[in-house]
């Protein structure tokens, strides 16, 4: 087989350590990937208007696939958010997060098995805001037919390809009749092309109430940007959260595929061999599936689940005593 | 003591039945209230542009206090949402929902003891939307200094008056820097005047994750309109929901005080003596506290909690077999 080149952003804080874990696991599983590693710069690159270097963006553009650790955007003016820059520059329009209860790791929920698909380019994230008069400000939420159709198409295609039964469009069209109304209209159009997939529409407030009462009622959820931001984190919380404290959720961007751990960079425990690499490993698994390395993806995924279920080598955030490398070694042993 | 006049909107669906329960309970507790009952009209009143009659709005304006059952806005054009019309016409700017685990009624959470305070007049509910070009629509989110200050002031005042320790402002100012930024700025200004109350700021996605993992970390939450809509329903879900299925949360509006059950009108079980009147009763308790009838409020509140905790007369939504009137009689017996 040939070797694939992929971009790796280890990120900052605990990023380099957990990226090391992924590299180790990939080696043991025999994944034929050669990494192009790029760190976030220490000053603003005028060509990207951010701390991301031009070369690092070019690397992802060329390779079309990447893995990204946590990146904290430095505070200050004159530069753009790292995460938003990546999404925008690479056109990462769908943010996909499978969310499953981890066997053997107890939370208040053991019945979570859903996928959130978030439109990731527009909506409340337009960046368009201004002061109308003193003391009165407005933000613009933009919804387009083009972006709505493509994320809806992605959701239904995903549902079909992954044996899912239902797509729920989440909205607040009873209030935002035009913007969320257009989003729903696009979802309905796409739904017509997938008669084998059930389709429903759920108002966001009701959706959140149902999620905390009975998440098992949901399958695939598709929604505009801000609702996706809120609901995907809510869902991550149901299975234990994904913070540096309990990183057990995963995220992957498509078109270009840039898998990323969604937790923070936890500077307080950086370099201490304490971080839990699960979220980045699960992201790496999604990257492998994107590349159709399904065999390696399955072996690594099962090894992660087994290690957590056994419980002997859990990291501190999951109530255990293992270090990052002990956990990683245990995963490698299970591969 | 003198008699207070208050407006009662029984609402539709199960509304009239559960309103009957409240009247019965108030009688037994000796609450000196005389109701002015108003039903939603069967056609649009041109003076209100909605199915609410002018007379009914005048009644609340005059009495300054009311109790409202569920109202389903008829579908169609040329009229306004009933709920939004009431909020707007009466200037109901803060939506307050205490949210407490019900002793003896088991959900996944037994540690909920928080209050959500939602700005209820602006934000994403501005009603300002338009098509920019074909396939591109926008909605305006409006945040004003005036409305933000007054809801922040309400939240801190509420915290102090109710022996609460902390106010958390919920926002997405990392994205909506101007609108949510102004909201936060106003909260900070008010926080300075209440040094005895702790103040923190929490990003909404993180807030939702924390709420489902550990709601006990929150005390009083204050936020713009849409976040409040989402989070107050999420919180209601934590304690069992408030739908017609499990109506155990409560809501009250201030300035004018219009207490209302936040669940739907459940037309499928209307008139069958099956509805759970708890949410409307708890709303009525809040109305009594607003009127400083604290003694009657306490007695009714305790009687409701006792009836649910005992479990003998629970309605079907809480897993019991009691009818609306059996539950109501049990509450009356406990007063
Ligand atoms: C960091 C922030 C800009 C980002 C977002 O709001 O999209 C984050 O919450 C996420 O979900 O990736
Ligand atoms: C019915 C709807 C307009 C309303 C809202 O979004 O405010 C409801 O969800 C609520 O919370 O009272």
pLDDT at A28: 96
- For residue A133, the chain B residue with the least C-alpha distance is B144
- For residue A229, the chain B residue with the least C-alpha distance is B205
Q: Which residues line ligand 1 (CB under 6 A)?
A: A 81, 83-84, 229, 262; B 174-175, 205
Residue with CA closest to ligand 2 atom 11: B229
- For residue B185, the chain A residue with the least C-alpha distance is A135
pLDDT at A246: 30
Question: Which stretches in chain B have pLDDT values below 70?
Answer: 1, 242-256
- Nearest atom in ligand 1 to the alpha carbon of residue B174 is 3
pLDDT at A303: 96
pLDDT at A242: 55
Q: How far apart are the first and last CA of chain A?
A: 20
Interchain contact, B146 vs A135, CB within 8 Å: yes
Taking the centre of ligand 2 as the mean of its atom positions, its distance from the CA of residue B229, in whole angstroms, is: 7
Residue with CA closest to ligand 1 atom 7: A229
- Coil/strand/helix, residue B19: helix
Mutate to test the interface with B, among A189, A233, A242, A317 (most CBs of B within 10 A): A233
- Nearest atom in ligand 1 to the alpha carbon of residue A229 is 11
User: Among all ligands shown, which has an atom nearest to the Cα of B227?
Assistant: 2
Q: Which pTM value belongs to this model?
A: 0.91
Rounded to whole angstroms, how far apart are CA atoms B22 and B17? 9
Interchain contact, A236 vs B209, CB within 8 Å: yes
Mutate to test the interface with A, among B139, B150, B232, B262 (most CBs of A within 10 A): B139
Rounded to whole angstroms, how far apart are CA atoms A303 and A328? 10
Residue B319: left (phi > 0), alpha (psi -120 to 50), or beta?
Answer: left
Residue A160: left (phi > 0), alpha (psi -120 to 50), or beta?
Answer: alpha
Min Cα distance B210 → chain A (Å) is 7
Question: Which stretches in chain A have pLDDT values below 50?
Answer: 243-255
Sheet holding A65-68, edge to edge: A33-37, A4-9, A65-68, A257-260
pLDDT at B248: 34
Contacts of A131 in chain B (CB under 8 A): 178
Q: Are residues A79 and A47 in contact, defined by beta-carbon separation less than 8 angstroms?
A: no
CA dist list (Å): A193 to A116, A170, A197, A199:
21, 19, 9, 11
Interchain contact, B229 vs A205, CB within 8 Å: yes
Q: Across the interface, which of B108, B124, B238 has its CB nearest the CB of A175?
A: B124
Interchain contact, B212 vs A143, CB within 8 Å: no
Sheet holding B257-260, edge to edge: B33-37, B4-9, B65-68, B257-260
Kindly report, residue by residue over B289-303, the tens digit of the pLDDT: 888 899 999 999 999
pLDDT at A141: 98
pLDDT at B18: 93
**Does any ligand 2 atom lie closer than 6 A to the CB of residue B265?**
no
Helix or strand holding residue B156 (H, E): helix B145-161
Min Cα distance B38 → chain A (Å) is 25
User: Among all ligands shown, which has an atom nearest to the Cα of A95?
Assistant: 1
Q: Which of B205, B206, B210 for mutating ligand 1's site (highest number of atoms within 8 Å of CB)?
A: B205
Interchain contact, B205 vs A229, CB within 8 Å: yes
Rounded to whole angstroms, how far apart are CA atoms A164 and A167? 8
Q: What six digits make up the tokens of B181?
A: 């930024």
Long-range contact set of residues B307-316: C-beta below 8 Å, sequence gap at least 24: B307/B331, B307/B334, B308/B102, B308/B103, B308/B104, B308/B105, B308/B248, B308/B278, B309/B102, B309/B103, B309/B104, B309/B105, B310/B104, B311/B104, B315/B274, B315/B275, B315/B276, B316/B274, B316/B276
Contacts of B232 in chain A (CB under 8 A): 205
- Nearest atom in ligand 1 to the alpha carbon of residue B205 is 9
């Amino acid at each position: 087989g040939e070797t694939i080149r992929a971009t790796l952003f280890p990120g900052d804080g605990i990023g380099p350590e957990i990226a090391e874990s992924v590299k180790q696991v990939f080696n043991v599983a025999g994944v034929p990937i050669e990494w192009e590693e790029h760190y976030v710069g220490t000053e603003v690159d005028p060509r990207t208007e951010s701390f991301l270097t031009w070369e690092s963006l070019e690397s992802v553009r060329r390779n079309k696939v990447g893995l990204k650790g946590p990146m904290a955007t430095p505070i200050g003016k004159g530069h753009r958010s790292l995460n938003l820059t990546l999404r925008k520059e690479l056109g990462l329009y769908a943010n996909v997060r499978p969310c499953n209860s981890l066997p053997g790791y107890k939370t208040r929920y053991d019945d979570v098995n859903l996928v959130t698909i978030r439109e990731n380019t527009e909506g409340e994230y337009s960046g368009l805001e201004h002061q109308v008069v003193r003391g009165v400000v407005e933000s613009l939420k933009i919804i387009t037919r083009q972006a709505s159709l493509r994320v809806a198409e992605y959701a239904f295609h995903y549902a079909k390809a992954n044996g899912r039964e239902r797509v729920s469009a989440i909205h607040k069209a009873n209030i935002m009749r035009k913007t969320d109304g257009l989003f729903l209209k696009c979802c309905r159009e796409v739904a017509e092309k997938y008669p084998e997939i059930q389709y429903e529409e759920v108002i966001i407030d009701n959706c959140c109430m149902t999620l905390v009462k009975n998440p098992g009622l949901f399958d695939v959820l598709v929604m505009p940007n801000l609702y996706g931001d809120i609901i995907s984190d809510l869902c991550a919380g149901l299975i234990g959260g994904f913070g540096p404290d309990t990183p057990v959720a995963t995220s992957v961007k498509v078109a270009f595929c840039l898998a990323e751990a969604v937790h923070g960079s936890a500077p307080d425990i950086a370099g201490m061999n304490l971080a839990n690499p699960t979220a980045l490993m699960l992201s790496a698994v999604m990257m492998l599936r994107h590349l159709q390395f399904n065999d390696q993806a399955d072996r690594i995924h099962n090894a992660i689940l087994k290690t957590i279920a056994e419980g002997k080598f859990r990291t501190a955030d999951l109530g255990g005593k293992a270090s990052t490398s002990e956990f990683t070694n245990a995963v490698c042993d299970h591969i």
